[in-house]
Structures are given as structure tokens and as C-alpha cells.
């Protein structure tokens, strides 16, 4: 019973940790430079999910002024989601996109210089060059 509570009650953390590990694995184990970038993206997305999930308050609504669409909610009873983690993570998403762009640009440059995207082949070519 307790085990189910730990797994089901905190499922958002489980998801973010598993995603993070998947991304980490891809970064470490994959030899292809593009696959590493994909891993990096999964890794970053896991953290975004973490931030977004901690902002949720049970039974809450979007943090905007009340309107007719909110139905029965009144200013006294309404509970808002915390908007700050969302705003923070917007910044981090922009950063993540820029990192991906730089990484892909570097991958293109590497491909032009070495004719391959395989990490081991590149390392071999570097060793031979020395």
C-alpha cells in the first residue's frame, strides 16, 4: 500500500527522473553526435516537466482574472496555479532551443570537417593526425 502511494502519489517525479535518465543514457552511450543532441533535449525536457509539475495546486485554475468562463468560481474561493515556475521555465526553454541550435551547428561543422558523425571514428582520426 505504501509502495503504491510512493509511486502513484509522486508520479510526476518518477516521470521526470526516468526521462532524465533516458536522456543521460543517450548522451553517454550513443556514439552518433546527433543522437547525443536528442538525448540532451530529453534531458532538458525532463527538467522543464519538473518545474511545470511543481507549480500545480490541486483544484486550481490558470492565474488570470476571473471571467464568466470560470463558472461558479468567485474571488473568495478561487485557487490559482503558481505562475512563477512557468515563467522561469519559459526562459529555460528558450535557452534549451539555443543550446540545441548551437549543438546542431557544431555537428554540421564536424560533419564537414571529418565526413562522419561517429564519435569513435572522429577520435581515431584525431589520434592519427597527432
Partner 1 sequence: MNLHFPVLVILIPLFGALLTFFTGLLRRTWAWHIAAYATFLCFAISMDLLLSVHATGRISYWLGGWAPPWGIEYVVDYLSSYILVVISFISLMIAVFAGPYVKKQIGTERELTFFVLYLLLITGLLGMVITGDIFNVYVFLEIASLSGYALVAVGKKRGAVVASYNYLILGTVGAVFVLLGIGHLYMATGTLNMADLRERLPELYHSRVVLTAFVFFVIGFGLKFALFPLHTWLLSAHSLAPSAISAILAAAVLKVNLYALMRVMFTVFTPTFVYEVVPITEILFVIAPIAILVSSVMALAQTNIKRMLAYSSIGQIGYIVLGLALANETALTGSLLHMLNHALMKGGLFLLAGVIIYQTDRYHITDWKGLGKTMPLTMLAFTIYGLSMVGIPLTAGFVSKWYLAIGALEAGRWYFIPVILVSSLLTAVYFWRIIEWGYFHEPDDPEDAQDRCHVPWAMMIPILVMAFLLLFFGVAAFIPEGPARQAAIMLLGVQ
Quick note: the x/- pattern for partner 1 over 7-46, rule CB under 8 A, is: -----------------x--x-----x--x---x--xx--
What CA–CA distance (Å, rounded) separates 7 from 1?
10
Binding-site string for partner 1 from residue 73 to residue 112, where x marks contact by CB under 8 A and - marks none: -----------xx--x--xx--x--xx--xx--xx-xx--
C-alpha cell at position 12: 510526476
Report d(CA 62, CA 83) in Å as an integer: 8
Nearer to partner 1, 15 or 110 (CB): 110
Nearest to 116 by CA among 42, 124, 130, 98: 124
CB 107 within 8 A of CB 34: yes
Q: Report the residue number, 7 or 102, with the smaller CB distance to partner 1.
A: 102
CA–CA separation, 123 vs 128, rounded Å? Answer: 9
Q: What are the residues binding partner 1 (CB under 8 A)?
A: 24, 27, 33, 36, 40, 43-44, 47, 50-51, 54, 84-85, 88, 91-92, 95, 98-99, 102-103, 106-107, 109-110, 113-114, 122, 126, 129
Amino acid at each position: 500500500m505504501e509502495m503504491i502511494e510512493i509511486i502513484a502519489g509522486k508520479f510526476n517525479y518518477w516521470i521526470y527522473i526516468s526521462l532524465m535518465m533516458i536522456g543521460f543514457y543517450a548522451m553517454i552511450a550513443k556514439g552518433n553526435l546527433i543522437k547525443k543532441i536528442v538525448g540532451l533535449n530529453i534531458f532538458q525536457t525532463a527538467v522543464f516537466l519538473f518545474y511545470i509539475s511543481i507549480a500545480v495546486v490541486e483544484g486550481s485554475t490558470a492565474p488570470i482574472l476571473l471571467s464568466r468562463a470560470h463558472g461558479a468560481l468567485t474571488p473568495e474561493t478561487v485557487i490559482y496555479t503558481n505562475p512563477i515556475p512557468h515563467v522561469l521555465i519559459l526562459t529555460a526553454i528558450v535557452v534549451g532551443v539555443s543550446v540545441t541550435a548551437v549543438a546542431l551547428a557544431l555537428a554540421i561543422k564536424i560533419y564537414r570537417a571529418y565526413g562522419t558523425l561517429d564519435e569513435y571514428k572522429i577520435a581515431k582520426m584525431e589520434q592519427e593526425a597527432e
